[in-house]
Amino acid sequence: MAGQRVVIIGAGVVGAALADELSARGWDDITVVDQGAVPSTGGSSSHAPGLVFQTNSSKTMTEMARYTVEKFVSLDCFLQVGGLEVATTPERLVELRRRHGWVTAWGVEAHLLTPAECVERHPLLDPDRILGGLFLPTDGLAKAVRAVEAQLRLAQERGVRVLERHEVLDIRVEDDRVVAVVTDQGEIPADLVVCCAGIWGPKVAGMVGMSLPLTPLAHQLAWTGPIPALSGQTEEAVRPILRHQDADLYYRDRFDQLGIGYYGHRPMPIRPEEILSIEAAEVMPSVTPFTEDDFAPAWTETRSLLPSTQEAKIEEGINGLFSFTTDNMPLMGESPQVKGFWVAEAVWVTHSAGVARAMAEWLADGYCSSFDLHECDVNRFEPHQLAPEYVLTRDCQNFVEVYDIIHPLQPPENLRPLRTSPFHARQRELDAFFLEAGGWERPQWYGANARLLEGRDIPQPNDWASRYWSPIVAAEAQASRESVAMYDMTALKRIEVSGPGAAAFLQRISTGDVDKSVGSVTYCLLLNEDGGIRSDITVARIDRDLFQVGANGNLDLDWFHHHLPSDGSVVVRDITSGTCCIGIWGPRARDVVAPLAGPDFAQGGFRYFRGKQGHVGTVPVTALRLSYVGELGWELYTTADMGAKLWDTLWEAGQSHGIIAGGRGAFNSLRLEKGYRSFGTDMTYEHDPYEAGLGFAVRKDGKGDFIGRAALEERRAGVERRLTCLTIDDPASVVMGKEPVYDGDDCVGYVTSAAYGYTIGKGIAYAWLPAGLSVPGQVLHIGYFDQRVTAVVAEEPLYDPAMERLRG
């Protein structure tokens, strides 16, 4: 783009790809700077083994990997030999079936193999060790240094400048905006700086005061000497790249040798400031000395899995540095403090070109149209997640677990508890089983409710779905429908928006009509410029110039700050940590609350989707007449110091009405029965309101403009896919999410949220499907491990379609 001076720090595989992608879009003033010699600059790209396995539980990461493969094939820097993951334990064999479901759902060709088929593709395997495998024909070996060279060459042909052997010493900032990059050979003027420095990323980001939750960790890679069974191999690689995740190992060919990568050793973190300089490093800065003792178990296991290696020796090895983050996702986006400073960090070769394409679109258009980036945005973290101890501990744990079988509900074991609501002591007294949400300890169910199981016939889910589950979940859900339950909603992000410009600001940033009377509550969406959903929020007008927003996380807060008017007429404040919330819902909720809160809470005195400030006993509350479980009730907010008193007041008053405490397991079941969507699971940046069944949250024409409106009008014309409700009759066939959906033999979509509906007596799965298949009564099948589960498209909501329970 003419006039925008861009400096990309780092000429590794990410920086090179970004220079290519940006210049291909017409940007004509780009400088790439690196302390090393191009194309082998001494960072992680220079020693990367290059194995590209596209399978990932994240749709975004798989799509980025697929784009990287396609681009590298076109640049002749990819050996498409395929990728094979093998199972040597029954647990891994089951996991490979789950992984097959992911990659099929995301549209990549994949095949489950028998042991004999595994050995046929990779003859070095011991057939007696193998139980089965997963094969992707489009996986393979990326030639990272060649990819750097090819992409920089294309960029330079369009006028991109590449300055090698230029060490970045500082980034100059004026009025909270970048103006130049300072190197040991002079200053480079800049309007935009993109940090693609990899393992040096935290050091560079620190130059503008930005905390980057990234840790460089050493990972072992060794090469055998010649293996007689490979004698005469004239091509660099002919066998598939191989993963033996049961032992934290992977393998690749190099003519008659094998490369062996190992994650099973102890974590070996290093501070970015301690990485050796180009001059001081014996090999390169990203390579540290090989520690043979750490590698010994890997070599023992290799000689067992691949018997022909018994005739070879380990001839060379390195401990190579790679970037790890606290959630295993990349770090992408703009600094919230310094305008014009962007990062594209913690990116491995596998996803490099995809990340670069996403960044180029984001920089050029203000949003990314090719990928959903909500999992990758660098501003997703809560403040405690940037603490050095948190970052180091979680990054090291992720290294340890990199090949582990992780259940979707599995919480971290370390650094807990971090955040506890004022109700925590009472929840422990009720024998709560806690999972983690954004650092909060959040009950999944309460052991004290086991008494509710008496006389109830609770369907038992399959083995996988029954992990982090208890039949108490069912009892809590049913009790919520029959009497009254209290739910801890404190983990919900709460944002206060105030000032004379608050109403106009919220009108502009959201799809809802929030400029209504004091006490109104509005369900709204936040959209990107292309009409994609960024989030869903509730906006309560507390006073003329004061609003309380129920949001999904820190990205919503960042979005608000990013769009604040410059005249100071709006103040945005995160009030989550100083407040708390109890959701009290059920047909007897009014019987509990009204005597404590006065006549305004009596029938007819407090309408649905309205809010009031008042008292529950002696506790001042902001009460919102909302319910995400589909029952009469309120969200009751108070300050953190009054939280325990609010709990005790409601609990005591509710005893004669059968009150219980309910956990998140029941909450999720109840919300799906009611058809309520969850951002980040059911809909993301790639979906628009009409596809997601949320057109009602878009205000009518004539009610003013909002971000994304123009694009949304174009998207409204032809809805080709829909978020669709499916039901499953078999109570044991509860799916978990991210499974493929089939129409005959064709994969036509994927599951988002799923749970068992204890009120309706069926399993529930929401899925993205072609509009033509989103017809009630349509019979489909969900791929669940090695099963095909019959599912039927249903009218929604499944529970209380007339809204009688909510409005009572």
Catalytic residue IDs: 219, 250, 536
Q: How far apart are CA 43 and CA 50, in angstroms?
A: 14
The side-by-side arrangement of strands in the sheet containing 83-87 is: 111-113, 132-136, 83-87, 241-244, 249-254, 257-262, 214-224, 314-325, 287-288
- DSSP code of residue 679: B
Which two three-digit tokens encode residue 131?
Answer: 């139980």
**Amino acid (1-letter code) at residue 675:** G
> Tokens 């606290």, residue?
326
In this structure, the dihedral spanned by the alpha carbons of residues 98, 100, 103 and 109, taken in order and rounded to 10 degrees, is -170
Residue among 366, 417, 661 nearest 534 (CA): 366
Integer-rounded Cα Rg, in Å, for the chain is 28
Phi, psi (degrees; rounded to nearest 5) at 68: -60, -45
Q: How far apart are CA 635 and CA 190, in angstroms?
A: 48
Q: How far apart are CA 307 and CA 464, in angstroms?
A: 34
Q: Which residues, 6 or more positions from 99, have their beta carbon under 8 angstroms from its beta carbon?
A: 55, 85, 134
> Tokens 């062996």, residue?
260
CB atoms closer than 10 angstroms to residue 11: 30
Q: How far apart are CA 651 and CA 660, in angstroms?
A: 8
Three-state SS for 658? coil
Q: Are 639 and 646 spatial neighbours (Cβ–Cβ below 8 Å)?
A: no
**Amino acid (1-letter code) at residue 716:** R
Which two three-digit tokens encode residue 21?
Answer: 């992608």
Q: Are 156 and 166 spatial neighbours (Cβ–Cβ below 8 Å)?
A: no
The distance between the two most distant Cα atoms of the chain, rounded to a whole number of Å, is 89
Q: How far apart are CA 737 and CA 727, in angstroms?
A: 14
CB atoms closer than 10 angstroms to residue 271: 12
Q: How far apart are CA 200 and CA 10, in angstroms?
A: 9
> Tokens 């005591």, residue?
652
Residue 465 sits at the vertex; the CA angle it makes with 479 and 462, to the nearest 5 degrees, is 100
- DSSP code of residue 683: B
Listing DSSP states for 287-335 in one string gives EE---HHHHHHHHHHHHHHSGGGGG--EEEEEEEEEEEETTS--EEEE-
